[in-house]
Structure 1
Amino acid sequence: MRILHTSDWHLGQHFMGKTRQAEHRAFCRWLIEQVHERQVDAVLVAGDVFDTGAPPSYAREQYNQFIVELRETGAELVVLGGNHDSVAMLGESRSLLAQLDTRVVPAVGVDLAEQVLVLERRSGEPGAILCAVPFIRPRDVLQSQAGQSAADKQLSLQQAIQAHYQQLFALAEQRRMELGGGLPIIASGHLTTVGASASESVREIYVGALEAFPTTAFPAADYIALGHIHRPQKVGGLEHIRYSGSPIPLSFDEARQQKEVLLVELDSIGLHKVEALPVPRFQPLHSLRGSLAELPGLLAEVARDGTPEQPVWVEVQISTDDYLSDLQARLASLCEGLPVEVLRIRRERGTTQAGLQREARETLDELNPEEVFDKRLESEELDDPLRAHLLGLHREVLAELREESA
């Protein structure tokens, strides 16, 4: 059984005013080629197929076009909901997409059996059983209780998610016995695990409740396909618990990462091999740091990756000339004639030049709510316990608001 594990496509993302449509289109074409060449049986998207709950029409069209083209390869598709995805939007076309060999699990449902899927080989024979776990919202698995401390809430949510996995795994084992045994069991998830290395584009999803799920709480599945963390990695050094990462860089701190999808091979014994397939870079992206004197050389170097038709997207961090008020004009002059487009300028301010408006990220639309509150607290003289208490309260409020709007 060959499964292609991918996640966090974020179709429809706008990156500092730039659309990622061309990159996503190129990635989808490349992925279809890999499925053809490697005779993949099933493709698993472990959450965040879209960037927002109301994606633009071109992103939905791209999603539908991929489904149609993938069906022509003979592989089936499983799409899991992520924290960025709208449960209603993903779920509205489930019945229709099922006719195109695509199964969608937008959220945890009432019937656990709906999350236990039998994946078939190209021959039509059962090849594996999947515990299809999407992003789990706290309200899906437990009821909040009055008077609980933050630690109690965290423990309750962890135990509830663990129990959900164990119940699904028991059903999967039962289904395996019904099919005669000998089938590997796979589990999925869209969450942060203990020890996972994130990037700045990853949104904290269990703020104030559960920051990370321990690997020991997963069931004894042969392979666990995870999404949400954009950096591809093994979890805790374990070969069978993996984040595939996002297929394109979703923030400048991901610019140096080699993006990949994972080709997972399983048989009746269990996991046979995991092969990382490097994803080509479809849009050159660089983060530069230096003084104005150093930037001409740095810009000339990265300009080699660009063309007039496809300029390099650049973030510039000014390290020593941050006091200058005309940085944008100076950088525009340095980039003149080069296939380079500066999307963000960051000033590395000295400690004497504090203030939220003087931070490296210069506009509020580049900060998430947690960062705005953190920066505001930095301007106050507070002792550590009070600061920690305020941060905890703020994150709990945000968690409740996000849960209500999900």
Structure 2
Amino acid sequence: MKILHTSDWHLGQTFFTKTRKDEHEAFLQWLLSVAEQEQVDLIIVAGDIFDTGTPPSYARQLYNQFVVDLQHAGCELVVLGGNHDAVSVLNESRQLLSCLNTHVIASTGISLQEQVLTINNRRSEPGAIICAVPFIRPRDVLQSQAGDTGTDKRRALGEAIAAHYDTVYQHALEIRQHLGKPLPIIATGHLTALGVSQSDSVRDIYIGTLEGFAAEGFPPADYIALGHIHRPQKVAKSESIRYSGSPIPLSFDELKHRKQIILVEFAGDAAAHINPIDVPIFQPMACHSGSLEELASELASYEQTEQTVWLSLEVTTQGYLSDLQQRIATMTDGLNVEVLQLRRARNRQADTLRTQTTETLSELSPKQVFARRLALEEFDDTAAGQLRKQRLEQQFDVICEAIRHPQDDAQ
């Protein structure tokens, strides 16, 4: 039995006003080719099919077309609802897609039998049992009690989620015993496990007031396919509990790691091989940080690029530059790039006042505090720059004098 584990497609995402339609379409075609090449029996999408609860029509079309195209690959598909997905949107085509070897589990508010699936392999024989757990909404597993403290609610919710996992796992064990075959039991989830590394594009997900779920609460399944965290990683150092991560970078900080899907091959009920497969880069993206001169030097390398590169630029030049946008536009003129994000670096000296261990704020006069703050600014050597500095000093003196002698203002 072979499965492909993927998650967090976020179809329909808009990235700094840019559509990701072409990237997602290219990814889905590539995923189909991998499924056919590897003779995969099952693809699991562990939540966040769509980026919002009201995805654009082209995003729904990509989703539906993938299901249709998958019929040629000869494998089944399990789709789990994520925190970004609307239950009603996933359920509207659930019955129709069930005729196309696709199992949609949008929420836990359905019968237990519908959440534990027996998946056939390519020989039309039972090949695996899936504990299909989507994003868990508190109302589906817990009833709040009057008078509970925040700690009580967090503990009760964590216990309720663990109890739900145990319930579906025990049902999976009964099915396996009934079939009399050493089938692997695969669990899923869309949540934040404690101790994982997130990225900027991951919006905080709280199951009620629960910030993270302890790995001990997962059942002893043969593999646990998780979604929500966009960086591929193991949970609790376990080879069999993994986040596949998102297939394309959903924020610039996700460029720090390669995107993956995970191919898991079972021998009997054991995961014999767990192999991450790198996803190709469908849209070049890059981050650069430095002074204007350093950025100009680095951007020169894009003169010969065939495909437009999306850029995030961080300017470390201290001091205010009123014409920064114009300077960057001039710098990138003629290059095959688009600057989607432009930001100024935080002043690296900004923490100077806080790092002074030999003195406290109470030991400094207002004039000294202002002088230290002013020293962190850079003023041009031009007459205009020096005039600006002098004007700030004069305005501060006027404010201090007004505070010391408020009665003069009253008169």
**2:23 counterpart residue number:** 23
Partner of 1:36: 36
CA distance in 1, matches of 2:258, 2:233: 11
What SS class does the counterpart of residue 99 from structure 1 fall into? Answer: helix
Instruction: Report matched runs for 1:338-349 at 5 Å.
Output: 338-349=335-346
The residue that corresponds to 1:169 in the other structure is 169
CA contact (8 A) 1:322 1:349 kept: no
For residue 291 of structure 2, what is the aligned residue in structure 1?
291
Question: In the alignment, residue 187 of structure 1 is paired with which amino acid?
Answer: A
SS of match in other structure, 1:173:
helix
Aligned equivalents of 1:3, 1:303: Cα separation in 2: 42
1:138 matches 2:135: no
Aligned pairs for 1:200-349 (under 5 A) are 200-206=200-206, 209-301=209-301, 306-307=305-306, 310-321=307-318, 323-349=320-346
Q: 321-330 or 273-282, which moves further after superposition?
A: 321-330
C-alpha displacement of 1:112: 1.3
* Runs of 4+, deviation exceeding 3 Å: 301-304, 349-352
Change (3 A) 1:211 1:326: same
Cα offsets for 1:335-366 (capped at 9, x unmatched)? 011011100111123349xxxxxxxxxxxxxx
Gaps of 5+ in 2: 352-411
Give me the whole-angstrom Cα distance separating, in 2, the residues matched to 1:73 and 1:127.
17
CA deviations 1:186-242 (Å, max 9, x no partner) are: 000000001111101001111761111111110010000000000001112110000
Q: Deviations over 1:154-207 (max 9, x none)?
A: 111110100000000000000111111311100000000011111010011117
User: What does residue 87 of structure 2 align with?
Assistant: 87
Aligned position for 1:396: none
Instruction: Check the 8 A contact 1:8/1:230 in 2, yes or no.
Output: yes
Distance 1:149 1:299 in 2: 55
Q: Normalized against structure 2, the TM-score is what? A: 0.83
Q: Tell me which residue corresponds to 1:74.
A: 74
Whole-Å separation in 1 of the counterparts to 2:340 and 2:110: 45
Local SS of the residue matching 1:22: helix
Asked if structure 1 preserves the Cα contact closer than 8 Å seen for 2:302 and 2:336, the reply is no
Bigger CA drift: 175-184 or 140-149?
A: 140-149
- List per-residue Cα deviations over 1:11-61 (Å, max 9, x = no partner): 000000000000000001100100110000010000001000000000000
Per the TM alignment, residue 147 of structure 1 is displaced from its structure 2 partner at its CA by 2.8
Q: Using the alignment, how far apart are the partners of 2:298 and 2:257 within structure 1?
A: 19
Report if the CA contact (8 A) 1:303-1:312 is conserved: no
The root-mean-square deviation of aligned C-alpha atoms, in Å, is 1.4
CA distance in 1, matches of 2:118, 2:207: 34
Alignment check: 8 A CA contact 2:118 2:128 kept: yes
When residues 255 and 8 of structure 1 are mapped into structure 2, their CA distance, relative to the original with a 3 A threshold, is same
- Equivalent pairs: percent with the same residue? 56
Shift of 1:144: 1.8
What residue identity is the alignment partner of 1:28? L
- The answer to whether the 8 A contact 2:136-2:207 is kept is no
Given that residues 41 and 75 in structure 2 are in contact (C-alpha distance below 8 angstroms), is that contact kept between their aligned partners in structure 1? yes
Mapped partners of 2:102, 2:269: distance in 1? 27
Q: Distance in 1 between matches of 2:13 and 2:257?
A: 19
- Rg comparison, structure with higher value: 2
Residue pair 1:322, 1:348 contacting (<8 A) in 2 also: no
Amino acid paired to 2:40: V
SS of the residue corresponding to residue 136 of structure 2 reads coil
Determine if contact 1:285/1:314 at 8 Å carries over to the other structure: yes
Does the residue aligned with 1:255 lie in a helix, a strand or coil?
Answer: helix
Deviation at 1:303, TM superposition (A): 5.5
Q: How many Å separate the matches in 1 of 2:15 and 2:75?
A: 31
Q: Output the amino acid matched with 1:323.
A: Y
Deviation string, structure 1 residues 291-320 (Cα, Å, up to 9, x no partner): 11110112123565x42xx31000111112
Q: Which amino acid aligns with 1:337?
A: G
Q: Is the 8 A contact 2:81 2:135 kept in 1?
A: yes
Rounded Cα–Cα distance in structure 1 between residues aligned with 2:34 and 2:121: 16
Q: Using the alignment, how far apart are the partners of 1:212 and 1:325 within structure 2?
A: 43
Q: Is the 8 A contact 2:50 2:85 kept in 1?
A: yes
Match of 1:313, SS?
strand
Instruction: Judge which range, 244-253 or 315-324, deviates more.
Output: 315-324
Structure 1 equivalent of residue 359 of structure 2: none
Q: Which runs of 5+ in 1 are unaligned?
A: 353-406
1:321 CA drift (Å) = 3.8
After superposition, the Cα gap between the structure-2 partners of 1:187 and 1:262, relative to the gap in structure 1 and judged at 3 Å, is same
Q: 1: CA distance between counterparts of 2:208 and 2:227?
A: 20
Matches within 5 A, 1:57-136: 57-136=57-136
One-letter amino acid of the counterpart of residue 343, structure 2: R
* In structure 1, C-alpha distance between the alignment counterparts of 2:49 and 2:96, rounded to whole Å: 18
Residues 119 and 128 in structure 2, CA contact (< 8 A), matched pair in contact too: yes
Q: Structure 2: which amino acid aligns with 1:88?
A: S
Match of 2:397 in 1: none
Residue type at the aligned position of 2:88: A
Q: 1:110 to 1:36 in 2, by over 3 A?
A: closer
* Per-residue CA distance 1:270-304 (angstroms, 9 max, x = gap): 11111111100000111111111110112123565
Preserved contact between residue 137 and residue 207 of structure 2 (Cα < 8 Å):
no
What letter corresponds to residue 113 of structure 2 in structure 1? Answer: A
1:189 alignment counterpart: 189
